[in-house]
Amino acid sequence: MTEQLDLLVRNVRVVRHDRPEPERADLGVRDGTIVRVAPGLDPAGATRVVDGGGKLAFPGVVDAHQHWGIYNPLPVDAGTESRACAQGGVTSALNYMRTGQYYLNRGGAYREVFPEVLAETAGRSYVDYAYHLAPMMREHIEEIPELVSEHGVTSFKVFMFYGSHGLHGRSADQNSFLMIPEGERYDYAHFEFVMRGIQAARERFPELADEISLSLHCETAEIMTAYTKLVEQDGTLTGLAAYSAARPQHSEGLAVSIASYLAHETGLPTINLLHLSSAKAMDAALRMATAFPHIRFRREVTVGHLLADIDTASGIGAKVNPPIRPREDVEALWGHVLAGEVDWVVSDHACCRDEQKFGDPREDVFLAKSGFGGAEYLLPGLVTEGTRRGLPPGEIARLTAWNPAERFGLRTKGALGVGFDADIALVDPDTTWTVRAADSESTQEYTPFEGFSMTAAVTDTFVRGHQVLAAGKVTGEPVGQYLRRPTGV
């Protein structure tokens, strides 16, 4: 008797994280889950059949670094930016969220704030989503066990430069900016206590310990403050070159080293080093892994830092923290990717519309806001440039899906295998197109990748078997669900 399927995606080359090259097979889906992976599945047993036309079938991207609601209202971003996710083959978007200015523009306990976050995103997203939370004050550290058990939040973040350096490049009143109580400081001591709090949660929930982790934005405030003054006083550099020099590469390396020793001191073995942008940052990260082999470091790189440099990015719209770097840093990052020393690649998507992004004068990089969108270019960009450099498709699946899913407790995500969610991105690897911001579903009117040539395109995206992108166009209604972690329990 033919097994009844809700969906059959046939005639595709299935990409798996544990083997370099794809294999021809069909994907059978029932109740949102993959139940068959084999060639020649009978289409008569399927309610709906999609012919993949020989395209690559990647596991849906688990984009472990996004920022919905940082510059636009959270409900707006959940709708529009999740549409951009679908364009890039992203089926799970993990967003960083904190209290303070931007985001919800409020302080307070997460037991009050986080239900509001969930309410404002419910029913709006085209892709599945989760949140990493940043413990900004002492009370947030005390809430970590509750966040794990009640809300399925198993990942947390520290912004290492917020203690004495502004978000966009100038110093600011940090207690006011972060909306933390008078008398508290957001500094290295706080970071230590965050680590102790997370390690205590790991010990309290031993069955989840490997999926409870801390992510760190590694830049050193004091170095950046001093170098920003030097760059501005000198006046020789402008644009992205000036911003890179104002937040120098060794600032990243020093912060990585400090974070690593604090993890050693507190006994926290699950550390994620975010958006490493330079040769010096990667060098420090690898040195720390050798120095502290008992710590399970994960090293993250963004697609922006792999595709663009200070000369090729399209204007100061590419301002981001840490900065877009010179070409030699881009090449160094690719060397680490090809050597298997990068654990996942993300978009760091933070939609910042033109009217918000640029200051007056418009060309002053220090007056511009930090961050830009890019989820729609994540998988196409990595396949385009990775293929050119000899990166196997299986490694791209590992970098974009399997590794982040495994680290962040997404047990039903990250692979095209029986029992996994039917999150599928079909990619045509033999098409050439030019990036134009006007073609994006994001509300951001510009992109640092404007005019870049791509040789791979996501044509179709499925989230738990629901098609959200068809022939390159977003389709249907929002089907995204909040991912209470770990999934599948």
User: Which mean pLDDT values do the consecutive 10-residue runs of the chain (489 residues) have?
Assistant: 85 97 98 98 96 98 98 98 98 97 93 98 98 97 98 97 62 74 91 98 98 97 94 97 98 98 98 98 98 98 98 97 98 98 98 95 95 98 98 98 98 98 98 98 97 98 98 98 96
Angstrom distance (rounded) from CA 422 to CA 464: 4
Residue 168 is predicted with a pLDDT of 57
Q: Please give the angle made by the CA atoms of 68, 74 and 76, to the nearest 5 degrees.
A: 100
Which runs of consecutive H residues, i.e. helices, occur in 276-326? 279-291, 303-307
Does the pTM exceed 0.85? yes
3 state DSSP class of 240: helix
Is 377 within 8 Å of 351 (Cβ atoms)? no
Residue 212 is predicted with a pLDDT of 98
Residue 2 is predicted with a pLDDT of 59
Residue 178 is predicted with a pLDDT of 86
Angstrom distance (rounded) from CA 272 to CA 215: 4
Superfamily holding 60-413+431-454: Metal-dependent hydrolases (3.20.20.140)
Parallel, antiparallel or unpaired: strands 5-14 and 466-470: unpaired
Angstrom distance (rounded) from CA 221 to CA 244: 14
Residue 167 is predicted with a pLDDT of 55
Is 157 within 8 Å of 147 (Cβ atoms)? no
Residue 312 is predicted with a pLDDT of 98
- Nearest CA to 255 out of 164, 342, 179 is that of 164
Residue 1 is predicted with a pLDDT of 43
